[in-house]
Structure 1
Amino acid sequence: MSPALPVTLNDVLSQVVERYPSHELSFITSSTHNSSIKVKTFSSFNQYVRNLARAMLEWQKPAGSVIVIYLIEHEDNMAAIWACLIAGYVPCLQPALSAQQAHKDGHVAHIKNLFSSANWLTTEAGAEQLNSIDGLGVHLLSDLKTSSSNYNVPADWVARNVQLDDDAIVFLTSGSTGFSKAVVHTHRVGLDHVAGSLEMHMAPLLFGTSQIHVHASAILSDPLRYLRLIDEKCINITFSPGFFIAKLTRDLEKRSDLIGTFDLSSLKCICTGGEAVLSTTAQSFVAVLKNLARDPSKVSFIISSGFGMTETCAGCIYEPIDLATTELKHEFLDLGRPIRGCEMRIVSPEDSKTVRADGESGELQVRGPMLFVRYYNNTEATSSSFVEGGWYRTGDVGIIENGVMRLSGRIKDTIIVHGVSYGIPELEFHLQTVEGVTHSFLAAAPYRADGQETEGFIIFYSPTFDLNGEHASTNLFATHCAIRDISVKMITLSPQFIIPIPINQMEKSTLGKLSRARLVSLFKQSELAKHIARAEELLSEARGASFVNPSTETEKALAKIYAMIFNLEEHDVSASDNFFDMGSTSIDVIRLKREGEAHFGLPEISVIQILKHPVLSSLANYVNSLLSKGIQAEEYDPIVPLQLTGNKTPLFFVHPGGGDVLIYINLAKYFQNERPFYALRSRGFEPGHSVFTSVDEMATCYAAAVKRTQPTGPYALAGYSFGGVVAFEIAKRFEAMGDEVRFIGVVDTGPHLVDHTFKVDWTYCVLTLCLFLDIVTKDVADDLAPSLRPLSRKEQIEVIWKRSPPGRLLELQLTSDKLDHWVDIAYSILGCAKDYDPSGSAAALDIFVSFERKDDWPTNGLKPWDAFSREQATYTVVPGLHHNILDFDHIPQFQKVFRTRFEARGL
């Protein structure tokens, strides 16, 4: 007789510990300082969480109380969930809180009201985020762990016996249409279809499956780690969101140096979700795996895409597809068939009950035991989510063909960018404030163009001005610039289309609402073509007003290069065009340098001079000077203008320890049309320029340069890593002169840069610089250090050169000699840091703490800034690890958090 299946979630843990006590749960944290894997057996994990549960009873909360779990690491979240269940409480996982103070406070107050209580379990850093809300019962995980050490309860201890229909766990919705709703699941929850907490943890427990839970940042910072883990740990099943599959494919498809490197024979299936996966991306992913696999014939290329949501306990419709043998017929991977017990249907969106024929599009509805029982304390939302017969309205548009479902659109008020949901109503609210937009006549709608990997959006609006009026072109240009700026700042993405529609043609419903679905339908059917054409005509006219035809041969040649880089027609490039205003990235700067050198036959066009001459005509003059005089040393000026539009207080950002400022190009774009953005670059890069010998010398030089650029305050200064300390020193000099410094931003560094006993090490400098340049990974740098130190400088460079991706070296236009010189500059800056002792104080400091330091920043060297800030220094966590905070993957969220503190200082 087979053993009985567990009845409640509590039974799951008891049963698997009895059957598989020595099987393991493994965890890789967000910190790169410790790349080891933390392991607990099922038995030790069980004892740990039951002791935590016993300690929870000291809180003296009534049985069934909701405990909001606000933790970061997977192990902590997992342990807290189980401890709550065993203690008779109901866990509710809280994702990262908003960096916007008002939104964060509103959400926390909403949760407090929703649960009619305020029980939070969090870390010290989380508690600091919550301290602006009164009346919360905040419990620290560190205190709970300390208390639990006093207990050693039996391996099957529970605080109370639960029933099948008792509330078990609560999940918060994304809150995209307002504040989050709380989805309640009971102990009846099925364990074969639940994502995150359950699908990749509790369900595998039933089979005694050992598990490795990896923090997302540990993989995103080093995608190769994903393949190494499969290889080293013989992983059978893995979960990879759609955007990560796309990223991994892009990062690895040209890595010819890795062909045949990994043993992937253990892999049986890759589960994916979060957003639709392009069929072409999936096929490219398979091609990459084949290339990198040691023996492709032994690798399973099955990808299981799926559909689910919080209300359905996540995945409830799946389709395992063997991409090695299956011909993909649609643009996106099919999402599949419902699991056992689940039903699905497509109905008319008009009445939500008329079933559509096979192959027809409509509203997707599902029903079955996996559905949630209710929204917590929200009967109205619960009842409106279901129609007759117990069918749940998913809010998605889908098609069922031959029993297989695929999605074709969204009804819900969200835009998904790289797997992250952004609320449309919030975006619309801010866009309504744009001058030129008629209030309540604007709609933002999700839209995915053919072949596009991630979701985009369209803005439809009615302008306040006449599109045929005298100043229509300049008004439209200004309005569209403002719409783009707000969109990028709020959801990291610019609209694919901005379509102005005269107000007498913008139809509203009888309830006074704009129909996004109708507007998108009109767009797809080309019914809005005349409005799009008129907008293009007016925008072209606006551009033409300031258009200057390239006249010299040098200007024409550069116009051709600009056009190639930005995929434009050559005749559309003006001699007055600014390279950065056209949307360039740091890689585009390198491309411009490379193409310019090749065309003009110049041995060197300095990157710094491109940064200083971004306007085409200005760069042409500089190139002409090189052609006539050759490359000559120019007077050193640390100021590099990365963005000059806008009339708000300029921002000055000091270079990190590598000395260069290319890392700030992507950040500067977020301040377009708002405020100038200047970077400060170290001395020593150009021929004839000596390096700095002290932080004092550097800060004095930079302060004078900032004064030349902005003669009077208030000033806004910031610096990443080493640059944070220099920004502090510049601020002290300004304050001594009687100037106001309103903002001093220090990004992930403490006031004591280097221990004075630290031996300045050239090997350390070369590996650190290469890590920041993305030439080596953290693991490679750590592995190479011992073997490099005995070698000569030349030999060290040769070893690293052979290990570096050729494509990345080409992107950076690096040669071994240039790298060697760059390390010299970094070495000199490290020497300055070693001799530096902080002193004095500045008005107020804003410290930005990397995600890897989120839990231990009070003790890891950042907290001492309190002694150097006359007002209380603020500490704000930002995504990413120290070396990649400003990388492409993290910069959108970083700029949001950074802007919040910047604006809090009144700038």
Structure 2
Amino acid sequence: MAPVAVAPNTTTEFVTNLKTYVVSQQPNTLHDVIAQAVDRYPLHELGFITSSAHDSSIQTKTFSALNQHVRNLAYAMQGWGKPTGSVVVVYLTEHEDNMAAVWACLLAGYVPCLQPALSAQQAHKEGHVAHIKNLFGSATWLTNELGAEQISSISGLNIHLLSELKASAEKFAVAPDWVVHEAKPDDEAILFLTSGSTGFSKVVVHTHRTILAACRAKGQSYGLTSESRVLNWVGFDHVAGSLEMHITPLLYGASQLHVHASAILADPLRLFRLIDEKSIDLAFAPNFLLSKLTRDLEKRTDLFGCFDLSSIKRINSGGEAVVSRTAKAFAAIMKKFNKNSSSFVISAGFGMTETCAGCIYNPVDVLATEPAHEFLDLGRPINGCERRIVDPADGVTLRPDGEIGELQVRGPMIFVRYYNNIEATSSGFVEGGWYRTGDVGIIENGVMRLRGRIKDTLIVHGVSYGITELETYLQTADGVMHSFLAAGQDTEGFIIFYSPTFDLDGTDASIKLLATHQALRDISMEKTTLGKLSRARLISLFTKGQFAKHIVRSEELLSEARDATFVAPSTETEKALAKICASIFNMAESEMSASYNFFELGGTSIDVIRPVYLLKREGEAHFGLPEIPSIEILKHPVISSLANYVNALLSKDNQTEEYDPIVPLQLTGNKTPIFFVHPGVGEVLIFVNLAKYFQNERPFYALRARGFVPGHPFFTSMDEMVSCYAAAVKRTQATGPYAIAGYSYGGVVAFEVAKRIEAMGDEVKFVGLINIPPHIADRMHEIDWTGGMLNLSYFLGLVSKHDANDLAPALRQMTRKEQVEVVWKLSPPERLVELQLTAEKLNHWVDIAGSLIECGKDYNPSGSVSAVDVFYAIPLRGSKSDWLNNQLKLWSSFSRGEPSYTDVPGQHYTLMDLDHAPQFQKIFRSRLEARGL
């Protein structure tokens, strides 16, 4: 054993209790990792760019220098007099300081606990520190002067300054293999705090064994070697920054560059400069940083093609869902700045503090491979990790492939327990060592994706929404810089907190704020360094009135904006409708403007049909009208316009209006409109919920069959229907490109309309065919009047699928009138009221559906369109695979371009209902974007 070297000009001191240190081929502890790195790659470097660096200067340390530095610090720590195994809370900001402190604690026999930035709210900060102190039974903190000042008001803490520890360590030059405590694989190594998004943090215990298991498998997944170069700008207090981007590459001898996030955010081009200059091949960036970089860098067109980014092999992204559009946009920006032609792999990953960060990854070249979903898939687990999807109710029953459930993981990288929290540890695991992540996920064909946290779910009008998912959408609204949602446990309501991009004291602030609030409402009906936030803390601050002044100012500006556009109802009809709307939408009658759009009052709710029917029912009762058709309310959404229509009804002007198949369901947005052809029942109300998801994005028009209005004859042939619809589309949108889709029977009509429009010389870039094969004639011949009535009744929710099948034989022995009476008696009364349906209307509706069946009996598809996008769900009969391979894929013969076949959740009659519309719209919109729309 070599003695301690005596540093020049320092106090002479000999170090006792030294232990020899042997580097093994396979490190068993973190002590082995740093010793191996120094032994094999002493001159490999660690680079650091601090938060205060205003230029490109990089401070460097070789592995050998780091080793000497941290062992000197560890020796100096012995002066604290703490017993082996004591917990030290490390509260520092710079990567280099955190790194040195963690290694020093480990080598001194202490257990470091990495503390993220403390809250600026004094009460929350004091509560958190007290919580941590109580958990550990002690309060030893290692921090800098600023950190010490932040916690100086909290009594009972044993605070040590890193600057003083460094000064003390300068007196020593211990042997490069000195260590005070010989660690064992199952000793506690590093403690991490959970995000605490629902309250105070839990403390996750990782041992040497769990950390090394994770690091070995990660390095294999990343393809790390001693020649690799890693760039990290996630805080070291996070498992991604410390384990994934430091200890993992150190295990493989890879060089590292750690950059404070503020240095990149202040100058986004610095990221590309560093990749270029340092030949970086692995980096990490969460979704929100990818998004910000894209926004900032796309303005620098002057530097396109100025950087060599060909070295980068992979960018890991985690901590929050990675939006496919964001990943593609960032990769596209990298491609524009790159001198050479390269592929850019963005690897969305799943991981938690409890799993040593990422344990499931999906590396993909997002520009070469079109993402299948709105958020990037999370792929497959690293070596040693297993995952499964189970029923969240019991936590053990496996879900079939493709079905949603609770995600559970297990493997040697999973944490061992929550510190001093037996209850949380016990409830976190089920039999077999499976850890309950609390996430809702799907595994399909071996590939995993998430739907959100079990607890971070809002239920609005009976539909579940992931908070993370909604937050992502909220930040797409103009005027919103950052947004977060918070919700109470016993209410369907939620609160949106956001930072505006504009000055609230600006001259046009009121108009901008009103537009932003409208956009947020539309979208709704649809952070630490990793973008996380304590929602519990937001709720607490809100209830304590901490946001009162902001709310008051907001209301003043909104009132100003409303007054500028307010038009008082003038006619008796306008006043009556305004009063009805005020009651429906819980507004003061004095607030109702004759220029208000029904959808802007709250009709943008995901369940928009209920307000429509309420307005219909209340209007009919008030004006003494036998009927105000629901479809006319949708066609006349402005109060003054609806008043004119009602006045026409009151004047008993029975002149039949000219038939127009176009029903505008959503008129905002600048993107290419979408035209949706009705299913076989002829009606378009099924699209109303779907249309609302396109608010502020693109207009949404539906094509309704002829025959609902008295005096309008049914269609008599497919050609007549297609000619009518093609002409209507051209009247509504004069020039292309066009986007046309059809649901069920409407799919073949949409295909023919697209063909007709192409024959006129216009471009149709999207033809969406939803769960319908090209050959329908045989199916049309199978459906008689009874079958048509039962199909319609099931479609409307009047009877169950089981009842429809059981009733068919008996009903066929009855007259039409008797059949309608049977179905009528079986129908839920509340559903009949909701639909404002009578037996006569049901009978007429069946005739409309029958006329469409007759039009399809002689249909034989021919010709082609530019490309088709086929969406398939569980069919009416048979398996989904047979349906896809033997019937739907026949569309390939009618597509000149590469067709796409996309799986959507639900069954044939349910894929657009309230349970499935949220998922369907995401998938549908992604295909529109994939076609350049």
Give the TM-score taking structure 1 as reference length: 0.55
1:715 maps to 738
Choose which of 381, 399, 408 in structure 2 pairs with 1:310: 408
Q: CA deviation at 1:100?
A: 5.0
Query: How big is each residue's C-alpha offset from its partner over 1:517-569, in whole Å with a ceiling of 9 and x where there is no partner?
Result: 43332112121122122222222322332221111111111112212222222
- Alignment-mate amino acid for residue 446 of structure 1: A
Residues 760 and 831 in structure 1, CA contact (< 8 A), matched pair in contact too: no
2:762 maps to 739
1:459 maps to 496
1:448 maps to 488
Distance 1:371 1:427 in 2: 30
Query: How big is each residue's C-alpha offset from its partner over 1:239-275, in whole Å with a ceiling of 9 and x where there is no partner?
Result: xx9xxxxxxxxxxxxxxxxxxxxxxxxxxxxxxx98x
1:794 maps to 817
Residues 717 and 743 in structure 1, CA contact (< 8 A), matched pair in contact too: yes
SS in 2 for 1:629: coil
Answering whether residue 470 of structure 2 is matched by residue 422 of structure 1, we say no
Distance 1:710 1:720 in 2: 21
- Alignment-mate amino acid for residue 458 of structure 1: I
Choose which of 868, 880, 888 in structure 2 pairs with 1:862: 888
- Please give the residue correspondences for 1:143-154 in structure 2 after superposition, counting only pairs within 5 Å: none
Q: Could you list the runs of 5+ residues in structure 1 that have no partner in the other structure?
A: 1-63, 65-96, 120-128, 135-174, 203-212, 218-240, 242-272, 275-308, 314-341, 345-351, 356-362, 376-381, 383-391, 396-409, 493-507
Residues 475 and 483 in structure 2, CA contact (< 8 A), matched pair in contact too: no
- Please give the residue correspondences for 1:107-122 in structure 2 after superposition, counting only pairs within 5 Å: none
SS in 2 for 1:473: helix
Residues 365 and 393 in structure 1, CA contact (< 8 A), matched pair in contact too: no
SS in 1 for 2:663: strand
SS in 2 for 1:769: helix
Distance 2:691 2:855 in 1: 27
1:702 maps to 725
Distance 1:821 1:727 in 2: 24
1:317 maps to none
Q: CA deviation at 1:130?
A: 15
Residues 561 and 592 in structure 1, CA contact (< 8 A), matched pair in contact too: yes
- Alignment-mate amino acid for residue 848 of structure 1: F
Alpha-carbon spacing, 1:867–1:666, altered in 2? closer, same or farther (3 Å): same
Choose which of 507, 515, 526 in structure 2 pairs with 1:470: 507
Distance 2:682 2:437 in 1: 55
Bigger CA drift: 589-598 or 841-850?
A: 589-598
Answering whether residue 437 of structure 2 is matched by residue 437 of structure 1, we say no
Alignment RMSD: 4.6
SS in 2 for 1:647: coil
Distance 1:423 1:607 in 2: 33
Alpha-carbon spacing, 1:647–1:448, altered in 2? closer, same or farther (3 Å): same
1:540 maps to 559
Residues 99 and 896 in structure 1, CA contact (< 8 A), matched pair in contact too: no
- Please give the residue correspondences for 1:522-561 in structure 2 after superposition, counting only pairs within 5 Å: 522-561=541-580
Q: CA deviation at 1:466?
A: 2.2
- Please give the residue correspondences for 1:786-865 in structure 2 after superposition, counting only pairs within 5 Å: 786-852=809-875, 854-865=880-891
- Alignment-mate amino acid for residue 499 of structure 2: S
Q: CA deviation at 1:484?
A: 4.0
Answering whether residue 649 of structure 2 is matched by residue 626 of structure 1, we say yes
Residues 183 and 374 in structure 1, CA contact (< 8 A), matched pair in contact too: no
Query: How big is each residue's C-alpha offset from its partner over 1:597-621, in whole Å with a ceiling of 9 and x where there is no partner?
Result: 1111112222232222111111111
Query: How big is each residue's C-alpha offset from its partner over 1:864-903, in whole Å with a ceiling of 9 and x where there is no partner?
Result: 1111111121111111110111111111111000000011
SS in 2 for 1:620: helix
Residues 878 and 894 in structure 1, CA contact (< 8 A), matched pair in contact too: yes
- Alignment-mate amino acid for residue 462 of structure 1: S
SS in 2 for 1:526: coil
Bigger CA drift: 464-473 or 545-554?
A: 464-473
Distance 1:185 1:110 in 2: 12
Distance 1:545 1:512 in 2: 37
Distance 1:578 1:564 in 2: 15
Choose which of 506, 518, 524 in structure 2 pairs with 1:481: 518
- Alignment-mate amino acid for residue 871 of structure 2: F
Alpha-carbon spacing, 1:183–1:668, altered in 2? closer, same or farther (3 Å): farther
Residues 706 and 713 in structure 2, CA contact (< 8 A), matched pair in contact too: yes
- Alignment-mate amino acid for residue 645 of structure 2: Y
Distance 1:547 1:793 in 2: 52
1:378 maps to none
Distance 1:394 1:832 in 2: 51
- Alignment-mate amino acid for residue 598 of structure 2: F
Identity of aligned residues (%): 55
Residues 651 and 676 in structure 1, CA contact (< 8 A), matched pair in contact too: yes
Distance 2:899 2:752 in 1: 16
1:684 maps to 707
Q: CA deviation at 1:587?
A: 2.9
Distance 1:572 1:755 in 2: 56
- Please give the residue correspondences for 1:49-88 in structure 2 after superposition, counting only pairs within 5 Å: none
Residues 728 and 744 in structure 1, CA contact (< 8 A), matched pair in contact too: yes
2:926 maps to 900
Distance 1:393 1:797 in 2: 51
Answering whether residue 911 of structure 2 is matched by residue 885 of structure 1, we say yes
Distance 1:553 1:444 in 2: 43
- Alignment-mate amino acid for residue 856 of structure 1: D
Query: How big is each residue's C-alpha offset from its partner over 1:395-443, in whole Å with a ceiling of 9 and x where there is no partner?
Result: 9xxxxxxxxxxxxxx999944557967363x7656655654334xxx34
Distance 1:512 1:690 in 2: 58
Distance 2:796 2:548 in 1: 45
- Alignment-mate amino acid for residue 447 of structure 1: A
Residues 361 and 380 in structure 2, CA contact (< 8 A), matched pair in contact too: no
- Please give the residue correspondences for 1:574-593 in structure 2 after superposition, counting only pairs within 5 Å: 574-584=593-603, 585-593=608-616
Query: How big is each residue's C-alpha offset from its partner over 1:489-514, in whole Å with a ceiling of 9 and x where there is no partner?
Result: xxx3xxxxxxxxxxxxxxx9899986
Alpha-carbon spacing, 1:133–1:737, altered in 2? closer, same or farther (3 Å): closer
Q: Whose radius of gyration is greater, 1 or 2?
A: 2
Q: Could you list the runs of 5+ residues in structure 2 that have no partner in the other structure?
A: 1-216, 218-320, 329-344, 352-356, 440-451
SS in 2 for 1:477: helix
Distance 1:832 1:637 in 2: 19
Distance 1:873 1:429 in 2: 30
Distance 1:512 1:872 in 2: 38
Distance 1:462 1:809 in 2: 45
Distance 1:521 1:732 in 2: 58
Residues 683 and 704 in structure 2, CA contact (< 8 A), matched pair in contact too: yes
Q: CA deviation at 1:705?
A: 1.0
Residues 651 and 716 in structure 1, CA contact (< 8 A), matched pair in contact too: yes
Q: CA deviation at 1:195?
A: 5.0
- Alignment-mate amino acid for residue 911 of structure 2: I
Answering whether residue 590 of structure 2 is matched by residue 571 of structure 1, we say yes
- Alignment-mate amino acid for residue 613 of structure 1: H
Q: CA deviation at 1:185?
A: 8.4
1:365 maps to 424
Number of residue pairs the alignment of both structures matches: 567
Give the TM-score taking structure 2 as reference length: 0.54
Alpha-carbon spacing, 1:624–1:197, altered in 2? closer, same or farther (3 Å): closer
Alpha-carbon spacing, 1:628–1:443, altered in 2? closer, same or farther (3 Å): closer
Q: CA deviation at 1:833?
A: 1.1
Distance 2:649 2:714 in 1: 24
SS in 2 for 1:840: coil
Q: CA deviation at 1:904?
A: 1.0
- Alignment-mate amino acid for residue 586 of structure 1: I
Residues 580 and 669 in structure 1, CA contact (< 8 A), matched pair in contact too: no
SS in 2 for 1:465: coil
Residues 176 and 423 in structure 1, CA contact (< 8 A), matched pair in contact too: no
2:162 maps to none
